[in-house]
Structure 1
Amino acid sequence: MSENHKKSKQGLCHTLRYALALNADFYENTRNTPKTRRLALTIVILAAISYAIGSAVILLINRATVFILLLALVINAIAVVAGYYFWTFTIWKIGQWLKPIDPTYGDLLVPIGFAYAPQVLNFLTLIPLLGRPIELILAVWSLLAVIVAVRQGLDISTWRAAFICLIGWPLIQIAVGSVQLLQQQLVK
């Protein structure tokens, strides 16, 4: 294994550990560099893959056709990534509206991408009878991580950060639920 690959793997594990722990200093000291942008996007992509795998297993159990399975994998992955960009955009716009803020949209992509770390565990939703509760726990954990990231990134109070994040969060949850309903209808 090359030295760069080892460092990259350590960087991802380190980032996931601090992001999952909701470490405020970690989010405060996150800088928007090409490396951190790649790392944040990697976490979001891993979250999308994890979500898609969990959904795919459930679809396989329900005997979905190969076409439906592949379509669901693509839709799930795109939904998670699109949700990340949409949620970041709503946070940035509402943050500008409430208080003129310095960070740009691109500056917020990194800490919010790191806050998607709990979603990397989304494959656990395939556990029978625990899938939906696990999904809700991971969604709330991600919400808390995004609140910490926004509080640190915009240098605002926790209550303001929670308000800003809670505006876009229900929209994301509704979109995820809609994708799941669509998949259930396609399988029938």
Structure 2
Amino acid sequence: MKHAKTKESLSLVLRNALALNADLYENARNRPRTHRIALTIVILAAVSHMLGSAVILLINRASILILGLALLLDGASVVLGYYFWTFTIWKIGNYLSRHSPSYGDLLSPIGFAYAPQVLNFLTLIPLMGQGIGLVLAAWSLLAVIVAVRQGLDLSTRAAALICLVGWPLVQIAIGLIQVSEQWFVKAGS
């Protein structure tokens, strides 16, 4: 019974996060189990990213060792990117506002904002994968802007500027990992 209730909560949070529901982000730190649900969303995003990479690596006939290392790096890049991006937002938010929430209080709303990344497996669609990846990244950026606007009680413009500090760094890091994986597959062939 308890497990079913958590599933309902997760699916409700995912729907509200995908819809950029400002109330979800406004009340994120006041809800029970929010840290667990947010981390679940980030882990689902990492698994979805790993799934897309796994299929591409298998098509390119990556060795088991390279496949395992690449998937570990893919998953870690999403999770570490989440913590890094939250940290940059928190630090800048502390600089701009005397009454900003704690780092821990920002983890839930920003974790919820990773909901579009749960759809990352769709990047497997031939000829559309890169475009879908860009749309999902932009959608997550918009969700994080809403989360920061609500969480730090800032204007949309200020929230966007704060979010744009860490977002390109996270995107570049993930891109570099993917390029490195491709290089290792070619070198191992």
TM range (shorter): over 0.9
SS of match in other structure, 2:79 = helix
Counterparts of 2:94 and 2:109, CA distance in 1: 17
- Paired residue for 2:110? 112
Q: Please give the TM-score of this superposition, normalised by the length of structure 1.
A: 0.97
Q: 1:127: Cα distance to partner?
A: 1.1
Segment of structure 1 superposing worse, 30-39 or 159-168: 30-39
Q: 1:96: Cα distance to partner?
A: 1.1
Q: Please give the TM-score of this superposition, normalised by the length of structure 2.
A: 0.96
- Paired residue for 1:8? 6
Counterparts of 2:64 and 2:32, CA distance in 1: 37
Counterparts of 1:155 and 1:180, CA distance in 2: 36
**Correspondence 1:57 to 2:55:** yes
Counterparts of 1:70 and 1:106, CA distance in 2: 31
- Paired residue for 1:94? 92
SS of match in other structure, 1:86 = helix
SS of match in other structure, 2:154 = coil
Counterparts of 1:54 and 1:168, CA distance in 2: 24
Segment of structure 1 superposing worse, 57-66 or 25-34: 25-34
Counterparts of 2:174 and 2:100, CA distance in 1: 31
Segment of structure 1 superposing worse, 93-102 or 63-72: 93-102
- Paired residue for 1:77? 75
Question: Identical aligned pairs, as a percentage?
Answer: 68
Unaligned runs of 5+ in 2: none
Q: 1:93: Cα distance to partner?
A: 0.4
- Paired residue for 1:181? 179
Of 62, 65, 68, the residue aligned with 1:67 is 65
Counterparts of 1:68 and 1:60, CA distance in 2: 10
CA RMSD of aligned residues (A): 1.0
Count of residues in correspondence between the two structures: 186
Is the CA contact (8 Å cut-off) linking 2:93 and 2:100 kept in structure 1?
no
